[in-house]
Amino acid sequence: MLKNQDTKKSYGKLYGVGVGTGASDLLTLRAVNILRSVDTIAIPRSSLYASSVAWRIASPAVGKVEGQEHLYLEFPMTRDSSLVRPAWEKALGKIEKVLLQKKSLAFITEGDPLFFSTYIYLHQEAKKRWPGIHIEIVPGVSSFTAVASVASLPIADGQEKVAVIPARYGLDDLPEILRSFDTILLMKVSSVMPELVQILEKEGLLDCSVYVSRATMPYQKIEYNLKNIQNDSCDYFSMVVVRKTERSGVLMGATSQDKTAKPN
Ligand SMILES: C[S@@+](CC[C@H](N)C(=O)[O-])C[C@H]1O[C@@H](n2cnc3c(N)ncnc32)[C@H](O)[C@@H]1O
């Protein structure tokens, strides 16, 4: 029994911290307090030469903390698992080294850490690899709420149903989803814009759609006429929101002619 206790490893605390989608004053107070207090901030970036979007957002609010380590981790932007897996093994090795020294570590992530985020893999692996580790998640302002805010567009009201679709993984089932839901949040749209615009036009929903890129970031863009940008090379940080108002119309007294994504 004693022997078991002796060999049982203990770890520093792991935090998954959402830093929001762009503006540094949209970090939560909790995120700032934790990022100022941990021993190490783990900062994901796409390559050795790229800057980190998450750290660009967080650093003005966090500032320089004496004695704090910044652990840069590289994750290539690819769906090729033969490249992603070794990158993760390397990153997990570096994180483990810190945690085994009983130091606290906060992994920062753009938006929310549990919503289409790099942090999710770490979260799952941490529980498997480091049994008993204490983990805390700090939620962040997510892209869909930031996009809705800057476009001044309600996401859902009353009995409305919402769908979230990572568009670059295929649009085959989109027409059916468009018919079944009241608000459709299309993430990761940059590589599929022409195809997406075609489907929205066919379904008669172009007027109910809005494209938003870099919400709350510098160079934020809002475009209500998707045909204007369908052939542009769209930003990775972009979303399309399709907002019908049929069901809310029942509650709010709106007519079916009110079908438009433009704010009042
Ligand atoms: C890997 S996901 C990250 C999502 C993030 N964890 C969140 O909570 O929003 C990246 C996608 O989120 C959306 N996104 C993230 N930030 C955005 C922003 N500031 N403006 C518009 N879309 C954004 C885009 O669709 C982008 O392709």
Strands (E) across the chain are located at 14-18, 40-45, 69-74, 105-109, 135-138, 162-166, 183-187, 209-213, 221-223, 238-243
* 259: nearest Cα among 189, 203, 212: 203
Please give the distance, rounded to the nearest whole angstrom, from the Cα atom of residue 9 to the centre of ligand 1.
36
Q: Dump the DSSP string for 166-179.
A: EGGG--TTHHHHHH
Lining ligand 1 with CB less than 6 A are 21-22, 110-112, 115-117, 142-143, 146-147, 187-188, 212-217, 236-239
Fold of 2-138: Cobalt-precorrin-4 Transmethylase; domain 1 (3.40.1010)
Please give the distance, rounded to the nearest whole angstrom, from the Cα atom of residue 11 to the centre of ligand 1.
31
pLDDT tens readout for residues 108-129: 999 999 999 999 999 999 999 9
Please give the distance, rounded to the nearest whole angstrom, from the Cα atom of residue 235 to the centre of ligand 1.
10
Ligand 1 atom at minimum distance from 143 CA:
9
**Is it the case that residue 193 has pLDDT exceeding 70?**
yes
Average pLDDT for the chain: 91
pLDDT classification of 71: cutoffs 50, 70, 90: very high
**Is it the case that residue 2 has pLDDT exceeding 80?**
no
Asked, colleague to colleague, whether 2-138 and 143-258 share their fold, the answer is no
Fold of 143-258: 3.30.950
Please give the distance, rounded to the nearest whole angstrom, from the Cα atom of residue 238 to the centre of ligand 1.
7
**Is it the case that residue 174 has pLDDT exceeding 70?**
yes
**Is it the case that residue 6 has pLDDT exceeding 50?**
no
pLDDT classification of 79: cutoffs 50, 70, 90: confident
Q: Whose CA is nearest to atom 21 of ligand 1?
A: 238
For the chain, which residues make up each domain, given as ranges? 2-138, 143-258
Q: What percent of the chain has pLDDT over 90?
A: 81
